[in-house]
Chains A and B, each alone.
Chain A
């Protein structure tokens, strides 16, 4: 694909061998003063949107203005996402680890004067523990971080993703060097097998076995082998791949290169969603820098091994996360899946053995090589080893990205790390595994989060989206939402999926309208089964999950809709009415002005009323009301 050279800080020399890499790392560490303050300003999408670039700029200015003595002039580093997005923009001072949250441009002056000059923390910018109410000064003490175990995300937030020197300083590409110089391809595969690494993309297939299979096929009919990094993170409510690619692109590159070495591949592709421009940019820079250092391309680290990477931009199709569809689009075709077998590991890109792994999976590989399979297998639980990154979103206090060892219970993630549900004592359900995952009710809060346990309760690990829902969320509506999503994303190749999703939606719409009958619920079951069994690819095969799990755990809600014509959560438009609480209403007229139907009346400074006959339940008034006087029932 076309790449204008956007690399910065390109080294002008190649690393002739592994020793040179070590030397280079040493030299970088050499010139860095470990005691020098480094101000880290998070430049994850979240923080950027909240204005972190402004903050960084302001910092530079006022530090220059403050006229500190040379040796204490801090280095300002813009890094990838720290995960704690709900508290952005985040500013962290290293090595002390002082943690400032929700920093605004206006706070910068104070930070510089108080912290840098006087060396005291700015109390009001610290994170306060909602439980104790105590301010917490350092990131590692904040529960959100305390209970995490960061393996794949270890560097994110510490390094500048656009500067390979940072990566190398923290030991990047050491695993590659180790693999290339001290291990045979077979040993690498064995290591991955022993580590028990499972695909982080969704199905959780054992990566090592997949690789072995591909190698055998390549031996049977010789020719090129390809590796693909799947960064087409289509699951709504999931952004760990994005964070990884934006914050530590070299980890992905290194993992893929090691994999390529193990598989004897010389060309690789990273398939990134078009909606992730920053990820594309950082990866391109990383590739450029790695090439220039001889960590990618011809004769890597002087070992004679050649491997190069190319970025393909996704074009907007969820189904392209399915590997055969992804291959189709890599070949410039319509992204329709083809039936498996044959699996890509046998006949993939251009009909050759192809290994497609999620970028997070690739991100795990260097660690396995560096620290050893034993160490890795020690993390998590048997059959689900290592850690998994989750994007913890929805109705939870600490929205953000968390990496935890497999096997940790849902409750711990949501309560300890996530800090519980805002305004309510318990969550209602957790949706995992993206649109074709399932909803797990509060009752199953002790379910350990690993591949098999989640599948057992009808959900799935998926790529790691974890959406927390509270009492204000209607499960019928949620299921409907996912169905609608899948209907839009269905490629339409096979009938059960193309027509089936539409058909299921028809049932759901009936429920949402308060129509339908218990009989419909049984029909829906049988239809769902037909779609599951009949569909051509995984997208269709798993598409009924949201319905089936909600039916399983929240059947009463379905009945409430179908029989009592009520939406307990007050979401489904046709079953709710908006009204204004005269107690709370201060007559500011905002709602009246915002109402597209003009069906809200009332004099200034006097309580308003809604003419429900004309109301289209668009919810404008509720969203706009400054005092929250609009109620829904």
Chain B
């Protein structure tokens, strides 16, 4: 559910009002609400004494931050070199068609997030797809379809 002042206070209390903590604080917010709601962004900036424009710049600069509500399940396709050579790119394209959503976005029914990641450092398992923090080693379209079905 959207931001509650209590949840926010719990996060903000961890940080002294110092702009250095902007990124960490936003990461905590994201961990809590699984995206960064505008109210939370305002509160964090306010608390740390940084202008909203900077909070926004940081949140859009770094890939890991999400400013829109996240879906129920998160799919991360690794596009590291090893995975690229072993067809990671084709996997993403496949998923884009499957879920009919562009990488970096959430399906309309908020059920899946489709993301790409530069390298999860599991090159031996290439191509890798991480679904809700579970690594799918040496995966393929067929395997993925099954995984998604199980989640639905």
Contacts and interface: CB of A to CB of B under 8 A. Distances in A.
Verify whether A and B have any Cβ pair under 8 Å.
Answer: yes
Interface of A: 1-2, 45-46, 48-50, 85-86, 88, 233-239, 242, 274-277, 312-318, 329-336, 391, 393-395, 399-400, 431, 465, 467, 469, 473, 478, 481-482, 485, 489, 491, 594, 596, 618-620, 623-624
B80 A236 contact: yes
B111 interface: no
A618 B122 contact: no
B87 A313 contact: no
B108 interface: no
Contact of A238 (B11, B21, B121): B121
B107 interface: no
A237 B86 CA distance: 12
B117 interface: yes
Interface of B: 11, 14, 19-24, 26-28, 48, 50, 54, 57-58, 61-65, 79-82, 84-85, 87, 90, 93-94, 97, 117-126, 128, 133, 135-137, 140-142
B79 A236 contact: yes
B87 A332 contact: no
A478 B86 CA distance: 12
A263 B63 CA distance: 34
A313 B93 contact: no
A606 to B, nearest CB: 22
Nearest to B31: A2
25 contacts: A2-B11, A2-B28, A45-B121, A45-B122, A46-B137, A49-B122, A86-B124, A233-B121, A235-B119, A236-B82, A238-B119, A239-B121, A315-B23, A333-B54, A335-B61, A391-B123, A393-B82, A394-B123, A399-B82, A465-B81, A469-B85, A481-B84, A594-B142, A619-B87, A623-B140
Contacts, number: 159
Nearest to A85: B124
A501 B79 CA distance: 19
A331 B44 CA distance: 15
Contacts of B79: 236, 485
B21 A332 contact: yes
Contacts of B48: 332
A482 B97 CA distance: 25
Contacts of A393: 81-82, 123-124, 126
Nearest 5 pairs between A and B by C-beta?
A85-B124, A239-B121, A316-B63, A315-B62, A49-B135
Contact of B62 (A239, A316, A624): A316
A3 B97 CA distance: 40
Contact of B135 (A48, A336, A391): A48
B80 A624 contact: no
A619 B65 CA distance: 32
Centre residue among A238, A315, A481 by max chain B CB count within 10 A: A315
Given A86-B124, A237-B81, A618-B90, A317 B22 contact: no
Contacts of A277: 133
Contacts of B136: 49
Given A391-B123, A620-B94, A623-B141, A489 B118 contact: yes
B61 A334 contact: yes
Contacts of B22: 332-333
A322 B97 CA distance: 36
A35 to B, nearest CB: 33
B142 A316 contact: no
A618 B50 CA distance: 46
